[in-house]
Amino acid sequence: MKIIKSIDSLLNKIEGGILIFLLLLMLFMAFGQVVLRNFFSGGIVWGDIVLRHLVLWIGFLGATLAASGERHLNIDALTRYLPGRIRGVVATCSDVFAAVICFLLFRASITFIRFDIGNNNILFANVPSWCGEIIIPVGFGLLTVHFIIRAILHAGQALQKGSPA
């Protein structure tokens, strides 16, 4: 259990660090674009493309943090009223489900990105498309790992006698 928890927090640290860097980058870039456009009549042409990809990256990294913090949006109207032990079992099941779906999405995004690399698609200038897209498989991969970790932790809690999940 301890090892699993430390893997989770190590991943979180890396994800959080990159997330912070990208958010700061986005903050300054977005503001810079507005200044350039309004006062110097013309922003960087590829600036908006980069910004929108940054949102994708930030979104996926935020989603991984939400997964390990169990803060994804869900319908908890019913599970709220379950007694501790059963709630743990139900939580384990929904984690396993989430992990399976994320894995399928991971596989689908590998297919997607392979296609783009094969066609030598270009994002802008000399930057190939896959550079912007790589976060999709990476993100779903990380989400799969986080949900597996959640499932193991929840299962462990449900098995422990008497302790609420």
Residue (5 or 52) nearer to other proteins, CB: 52
Binding mask 55-94 for other proteins (x = CB under 8 A): xx-xxxxxxxxxx-x-xxxxxxxxxx---------xx-xx
Q: Does 128 engage in binding with other proteins (CB under 8 A)?
A: no
**Count of residues touching other proteins (by CB under 8 A):** 61
Q: Does 34 engage in binding with other proteins (CB under 8 A)?
A: yes
How many C-beta neighbours within 10 Å does residue 2 have? 6
Distance in angstroms (rounded) separating the CA atoms of residues 7 and 117? 31
Contacting residue, 23, 25, 127, 134, with other proteins by CB under 8 A: 23
29 burial level (CB within 10 Å; 0-12, 13-18, 19+): middle
Distance in angstroms (rounded) separating the CA atoms of residues 19 and 28? 14
Helix axes 2-39, 135-159, angle to 10 degrees: 150
How many C-beta neighbours within 10 Å does residue 60 have? 19
Nearest to 152 by CA among 94, 81, 92, 107: 92
Question: Across the chain, where does the E strand assignment appear?
Answer: 122-124, 127-128
- Distance in Å, CB of 80 to other proteins, minimum: 8
Q: Does 47 engage in binding with other proteins (CB under 8 A)?
A: no
- Distance in Å, CB of 159 to other proteins, minimum: 19
Residue (3 or 39) nearer to other proteins, CB: 39
Contacting residue, 41, 111, 120, 126, with other proteins by CB under 8 A: 111
SS3 96: helix
Residue numbers of the site for other proteins (CB under 8 A)?
16, 19-20, 23, 26-28, 30-31, 33-34, 37-38, 48-49, 51-53, 55-56, 58-67, 69, 71-80, 90-91, 93-95, 97-98, 101-102, 104-105, 107-109, 111-112, 115, 132-133, 136
